[in-house]
Amino acid sequence: MRLRPVLILAVAAALAFQEPAAAQRKKKPPKEEITQTLEVLPDPPSAVTADTSRLVFHVSPLSSKGLLSQQVRDGIKALWRLNRGAHIVRLRAWVAGTGDMRRVSSIVSEMFADKKQPLPVINVIQVGLLPMDGAQVMLEAISVARKPQNPHGLAFVSGQAGSAPIDPANPSMKVAHLAKKGAADLKTALAGVQLEAKDVLRVTCLSTSLEDYNEARSAVAQEFPQAALAFVQSVRAPTSHVVECEAVARLKAAPAQPVQFVQPPGLTASKNFTHVVLVNAPKLILTTTQLCFRAQDADVRLAFQRLQGMLEAAGSSTKHVLFSSVYPLTEAMTAKVRAIRFEFYDPSRPPASTLLLFEGLPSLDASFGVDVVAVPK
Domains of the chain, residue spans: 44-149, 151-166+173-280, 290-377
| Short-list 144, 139, 137, 135, CA closest to 122 | 139
What pTM was estimated for this model as a whole? 0.88
CATH topology identical between 151-166+173-280 and 290-377? yes
For helices 102-114 and 68-83, the axis angle rounded to 10 degrees is 50
Residue 9 CA to chain centroid, in angstroms?
A: 84
Average of per-residue pLDDT values in the chain: 91
Topology annotation, domain 44-149: 60s Ribosomal Protein L30; Chain: A; (3.30.1330)
pLDDT tens-digit profile of 295-327?
Answer: 999 999 999 999 999 999 999 999 999 999 999
Q: Exposed (0-12), middle (13-18) or buried (19+): which is 167, by Cβ within 10 Å?
A: exposed
- Which position has the higher pLDDT, 72 or 18? 72
What is the predicted pLDDT for the residue at 168? 81
SS3 assignment, position 270:
coil
pLDDT tens-digit profile of 16-66?
Answer: 444 444 444 445 555 555 555 556 778 899 999 999 999 999 999 999 999
Exposure of 282 in the CB half-sphere (CA atoms within 13 A): 1
- Using CA atoms, how far apart are residues 200 and 254, in angstroms rounded to an integer? 16
- Given pLDDT bands bounded at 50, 70 and 90, which one contains residue 98? confident
- CATH 3.30.710.10 describes domain 151-166+173-280: no
Which residues, at least 6 apart from 148, have a Cβ–Cβ distance to it below 8 Å? 51, 53, 54
For the segment(s) 290-377, the CATH number from 3.40.50.10090, 3.30.1330.40, 1.10.260.40, 3.40.50.300 is: 3.30.1330.40
SS3 assignment, position 244:
strand
Strand arrangement, sheet containing 137-144: 55-59, 137-144, 87-95, 121-126
